[in-house]
Amino acid sequence: MSDTVQQVQEQCRWFREMFQSLRREVGTVIVGQEDIVDSVLIGLFCGGHILLEGVPGLGKTLLVRTLASALSLSFRRIQFTPDLMPADIIGTNIVLEDPATGRRQFQFQPGPIFGQIILADEINRATPKTQSAMLEAMQEHSVTSGGTIHRLTEPFLVLATQNPIEQEGTYPLPEAQLDRFFFKLLVPYSTRTELKTILDRTTTQQTPQAKPVADAEQILRAQELVRQVVVADHVQDYAIRLAMATHPDDDTAPEAARKFIRYGSSPRGVQTLILAGKVRALLDERYHVSFGDISESYLPAMRHRILLNFEGQAEGISNDDLLQQILEATPKAENSKS
């Protein structure tokens, strides 16, 4: 075995062990929700932000807090409300007076966005103006105030939560902001067995707490390793065709997409499929992405990147059902029926 092959195997093994240790540590607090936890960790190692959608009480906020506890990273929580202003998020310039000289000057006072793990709780309760204050931070990892650009500390991850059923007093996230999220995850209800475990953990004297198992340097190293994973041209083409199939005017779009979709995925959707596929390959101790790695992330990567037309909304078509049809109709190899 050559030194290069052995080095690759060691890197894959190191990544898998760190991922599993984080998964286990989060699991000491969070009951069930394995797919949600894995998807959040995939977003972390890809440098992408996560949108968690679910009814109140399903542990969305607890999941984010637990992840922050399992990482030696600074954690900030922003509770979004209708009266929240952009300056409450990014910070503002304040006037300070030098006691010795009496000279006054502006000094930037950082807001809560200057953390590494950011919980944007109930993000759809803030006004569009305040929501837009998150865009630069999420995309550029920086904040501009008073003409000065302030860089955020890496790694930087936003985990936003929203309630899908409470519409009064909420402002739907615009498509431009939704597209900045790597995954949109639908948090399900707990099972009967999971509810019993939750009660055992939360209604007794001892409440479990997660301990740090990874730091910023390890996360940044893992993010760099993810981008080194190889993607063959035919696998990359499969991801491209899956994204193009969401465009109603594209020749490869199935009938359901042509009929019910108004707008399809942006290029960020393809980038998400490739990066998530690279993490899944490393978890399988492979240094190349397979078709299965791509398809496994299709729904969380695309469900917030397609917009139904009026007919689709009237028919009550769900984005996930539509995406599942597209996934089944798109061959893995071009000019193939399977």
pLDDT tens, 56-89? 766 777 788 888 888 888 888 888 888 888 888 8
Residues 210, 208: Cα–Cα separation, whole Å: 7
Quote the number of domains for the chain.
1
What pLDDT band is residue 99 in, cutting at 50, 70 and 90?
A: confident
More confident residue, 108 or 90: 90
Q: Identify the pLDDT of residue 337.
A: 45
Residues 145, 265: Cα–Cα separation, whole Å: 32
Q: Identify the pLDDT of residue 165.
A: 65
Question: Is position 209 within any domain?
Answer: no
CA distances from 41 to 48, 179, 182, 262, 276 (A): 10, 19, 12, 31, 10
Question: Is position 94 within any domain?
Answer: no
The whole domain housing 310 covers 230-338
115 token code pair: 């953390």
Question: Is position 59 within any domain?
Answer: no
Tens digit of each residue's pLDDT (9 = 90 or more) over 31-61: 777 788 889 899 999 988 999 887 776 677 7
What pTM, to 2 d.p., does this model score?
0.85
Q: Identify the pLDDT of residue 36.
A: 86
Lowest mean pLDDT among 122-126, 171-175, 240-244: 171-175
**pLDDT more than 70, % of the chain:** 94
Residues 138/49, Cβ–Cβ less than 8 Å:
yes
Span 183-209, average pLDDT? 76
**pLDDT more than 90, % of the chain:** 14
Lowest mean pLDDT among 167-171, 183-187, 318-322: 167-171
What pLDDT band is residue 167 in, cutting at 50, 70 and 90?
A: low
Question: Is position 322 within any domain?
Answer: yes
CATH number of the structural domain spanning residue 300: 1.10.8.80
Q: Identify the pLDDT of residue 256.
A: 85
For residue 38, how many C-alpha atoms fall within 13 Å in the half-sphere facing its CB?
A: 14
Question: Is position 54 within any domain?
Answer: no
CA distances from 92 to 50, 106, 145, 238 (A): 26, 10, 7, 46
Question: Is position 187 within any domain?
Answer: no
Residues 39, 46: Cα–Cα separation, whole Å: 10
Question: Is position 239 within any domain?
Answer: yes
Q: Rounded to 5 degrees, what are φ and ψ at 258?
A: -65, -35
Closest CA to 118 of 159, 153, 79, 155: 159
List, in sequence order, every beta strand (DSSP E) within 140-285.
142-145, 148-151, 157-162, 181-186, 214-215, 261-263
Residues 69/212, Cβ–Cβ less than 8 Å:
yes
27 token code pair: 């699991």
Question: Is position 248 within any domain?
Answer: yes
Instruction: For residue 204, give the amino acid letter.
Output: T
